[in-house]
Amino acid sequence: MMKNHEKTYTTKANFMLHGGDYNPDQWLDRPDILADDIKLMQLAHTNTFSVGIFAWAALEPEEGVYNFEWLDEIFNNIHGMDGRVILATPSGARPAWMSQKYPEVLRVNGARVKQLHGGRHNHCFTSEVYREKTQKINRLLAERYGNHPALLMWHISNEYGGECHCEKCQHAFRSWLKEKYDNDLKALNDAWWGPFWSHTFTDWSQIESPSPIGENMVHGLNLDWRRFVTDQTISFFENEIVPIKELTPDIPITTNFMADTHELIPFQALDYSKFAKHLDVISWDAYPAWHNDWESTADLAMKVGFIDDLYRSLKQQPFLLMESTPSAVNWHTVNKAKRPGMHLLASMQMVAHGSDSVMYFQWRKSRGSSEKFHGAVVDHDNSSENRVFKEVALVGQTLEKLSDVVGTNRPADVAILYDWESNWALNDAQGFGLETKRYPQTLQQHYKTFWEKDIPVDVITKEQDFSSYKLLIVPMLYLVSEETIARLKTFVANGGRLVMTYISGLVNEHDLTYLGGWHKDLQEMFGMKPVETDTLYPSDKNYVSYRNQSYELKDYATVIELAAAKTEGQYEQDFYANTPAVTSHEYEKGKTYYIGGRLEDAFHREFYQELINELALQPVVSVKHEMGVSVQVRQAPEQDYIFIMNFTEEKQPIVIEDHLKDLVTSAELTGEFTLEKYEVRILEKARNHTR
């Protein structure tokens, strides 16, 4: 199948971006250091810097008094070394004078406590004053730098997140609700199951955002609040970019997305599938805790790959790694240095999954305050000779060889469906195992088999087109609207294979359960219905027999009532022993599969291998390797770029049958070779056939 491999639009650069957050505003009284920066940037093989992210106090030291001269110089210096600037709008943090004069910009938390000035990422998204002030400074920045030849892209604010519960936000929330429910309070009460605990509203003004000291049990309210927070954040963002779009319509716009740590899952608090529509380019800040003591390097790499594939799939185009650390961060419980080789490997993994950049937080370590020990390219020694600096320079040299990879995408026949709203609703659900819902982690578990087998996966969202995939995997989609059910049905009817699991399809878009059992369309598609969900204690044991093997089950088991479906696997124990645990059903031109329990990885390997065989899903190139080595591919019209990465602590034997060219050394490579611990090879293969 030919698809997805036209060069797509990421930046206007035809080279890989390498650089990062540069905060010269912390060093304005040290011209010697600013001069060293430019020399060191070249030694580090860097070319692009995000500037001005938290520089509002330096740009507007007093209300209406501006100081751009220092930024002019930075722009010119970076341009002088043929570098590029990603210019940030400064709304992520504000000068003290503003909070003092206009307290409405300060956030109010869920307990209705107004915050003091301090920290960052803590403004009210509704405040007219803050919206006006951000637009004004953004306009001045666009006017002054919009035509600067070094300007590559806009970095709007920084890591949008959080929520405000002030009166202005309450008002905005009520207006949002009125619009959503067509001014019909009864419709809202119906959607929120109002009569429960006498929670029927008789006037819009009675509605308050969820609060630990007030309402927090009305699930429809909680869900609508989360949706509102996403929409209000986007509305703030849209307000920020008005002058930017007007004055610099050709400069692409991004904002840096996040992930949630410690387990490394997609950021949960904002619905990025909505936000993505407002951006030209997706970028994100990746801080995996490499070398931690709770998971293997390969397992962590798999989770990074999952988030990359989700954020890449949001726009089906390459993305940018906007921040990463060249060594350690300062906010993990243990801030471990990246071991030798890990920096190149981790950076190339991002490129392998679709990034057109490797960027850092930050260029130079701060001297004071909370980030003074956060890893940076330039340490307090100001040296280009230390290990970290040298490893950064090596990444830069490697990226210089990868210009042809810029703009290329990744092909995928398999998609996993990720849904922010369903995750919110499921986390809110008081039921099942309160500690074991683990929706994002469950998706990563399904993704793992494909990652191990080098089969590319898109991680898509419910509004995206399903039709180009052969296999769609939809684990734990607790909340599903009739509209999504209809789209899934069309996908299967047209020949798609669909996998669903336990705790799926239980509530609609208002978080109201479906009545009369599982949705009739799902029953028809799956030829069965789930009738009970059993939740297991960690000490409970059960197993599923599947293809004469026994697989361990944890946390959830669904009791299934069979109609036309075929039983593929059965529970071994408990009151549902010998009843169906895994089923399949042919529906129109396609086929569905239901996995009733949370099963171990070994089951997924076996289960998905059959589908892989049946659907002839293959890696783009055949590379033989052991577990812990990952092979990822980016495709240009004539070339495949193949990244072979060793995420283990041992040497790994590799066998390739093709004749490939090493993009870094230009050597020809074929047959057997060895990858050292954490080694990565980037290879090119001319493609003379279509997939």
Does 323 bind ligand GAL (CB under 6 A)? Our answer is yes
Tokens of 631: 């092979």
Which residue in 89, 99, 127, 158 binds ligand GAL (CB under 6 A)? 158
DSSP 68-136: -HHHHHHHHHHHHTT-EEEEEPSTTS--HHHHHH-GGGB-B-TT-PBPPS-SSS-B-SS-HHHHHHHHH
Is 159 annotated in the active site?
A: yes
Q: Which of residues 371 and 552 has its CB atom nearest to ligand GAL in the complex?
A: 371
Cα–Cα distance for residue pair 100/109, rounded to 1 Å: 18
Residue nearest ligand GAL (C-beta atom): 361
Shortest distance, position 657 Cβ to ligand GAL, whole Å: 42
Cα 457–Cα 459–Cα 464 angle in degrees, nearest 5: 120
Does 163 bind ligand GAL (CB under 6 A)? Our answer is no
Shortest distance, position 31 Cβ to ligand GAL, whole Å: 24
Neighbours of 443 (CB within 10 A): 25
Shortest distance, position 306 Cβ to ligand GAL, whole Å: 19
Total residue count of the chain as it appears in this document? 691
Look up residue 553 and give its DSSP letter.
E
Contact status, residue 672 vs residue 655, Cβ threshold 8 Å? yes
Residues 326-365 that bind ligand GAL (CB under 6 A): 329, 361
Q: Which of residues 143 and 260 has its CB atom nearest to ligand GAL in the complex?
A: 260
**Per-residue interface string for the shown chain with ligand GAL, residues 56-95, x marking contact by CB under 6 A:** ----------------------------------------
Cα–Cα distance for residue pair 652/667, rounded to 1 Å: 20
Shortest distance, position 137 Cβ to ligand GAL, whole Å: 18
Shortest distance, position 121 Cβ to ligand GAL, whole Å: 8
Q: Which of residues 297 and 327 has its CB atom nearest to ligand GAL in the complex?
A: 327
Packing angle between helix 439-452 and helix 601-614, nearest 10 degrees? 60
Q: Which of 598, 584, 372 is nearest to 502 (CA)?
A: 598
Shortest distance, position 160 Cβ to ligand GAL, whole Å: 10
672, amino acid identity: E
Q: Which long-range contacts (CB under 8 A, 24 or more apart) does 182-191 make?
A: 191/220, 191/510, 191/512
Is 610 annotated in the active site?
A: no
Q: Which one from 60, 159, 391, 572 is the annotated catalytic residue?
A: 159
- Is 46 in a helix, a strand, or coil? coil
Shortest distance, position 239 Cβ to ligand GAL, whole Å: 21
Q: Which of residues 162 and 619 has its CB atom nearest to ligand GAL in the complex?
A: 162
Residue 667, judged by CB atoms within 10 A of its CB (0-12, 13-18, 19+), counts as exposed
Does 25 bind ligand GAL (CB under 6 A)? Our answer is no
Q: Which of residues 134 and 646 has its CB atom nearest to ligand GAL in the complex?
A: 134
Cα–Cα distance for residue pair 364/294, rounded to 1 Å: 31
Q: Which of residues 22 and 643 has its CB atom nearest to ligand GAL in the complex?
A: 22
Tell me the HSE value of 574 on the side-chain side, using a 13 A CA sphere: 19
Shortest distance, position 334 Cβ to ligand GAL, whole Å: 15
Bridge-partner residues for 175, per DSSP?
none
Tell me the HSE value of 521 on the side-chain side, using a 13 A CA sphere: 17
Residues 538-577 that bind ligand GAL (CB under 6 A): none
Q: Which of residues 21 and 572 has its CB atom nearest to ligand GAL in the complex?
A: 21
Cis amide linkage into residue 206, ω under 30° from 0: no
* Residue environment code for 587-618, b if the CB has 16+ CB neighbours within 10 A, otherwise e: beebbbbbbbbbbeeebbebbbeebbeeeebe
Does 159 bind ligand GAL (CB under 6 A)? Our answer is yes
Tell me the HSE value of 227 on the side-chain side, using a 13 A CA sphere: 17
**Per-residue interface string for the shown chain with ligand GAL, residues 271-310, x marking contact by CB under 6 A:** --------------x-x-----------------------
Tell me the HSE value of 564 on the side-chain side, using a 13 A CA sphere: 12
Size of the site for ligand GAL (CB under 6 A): 9
Q: Which one from 163, 240, 323, 684 is the annotated catalytic residue?
A: 323
Q: Which of residues 295 and 371 has its CB atom nearest to ligand GAL in the complex?
A: 371
**Cβ contacts of 124 within 8 Å, gap of 6 or more:** 104, 105, 106, 107, 108, 130, 164, 166, 168, 169
Q: Which of residues 75 and 361 has its CB atom nearest to ligand GAL in the complex?
A: 361
Shortest distance, position 69 Cβ to ligand GAL, whole Å: 24
Catalytic (active-site) positions = 159, 323
Using CB under 6 A, list all residues that contact ligand GAL. 158-159, 285, 287, 323, 329, 361, 371, 374
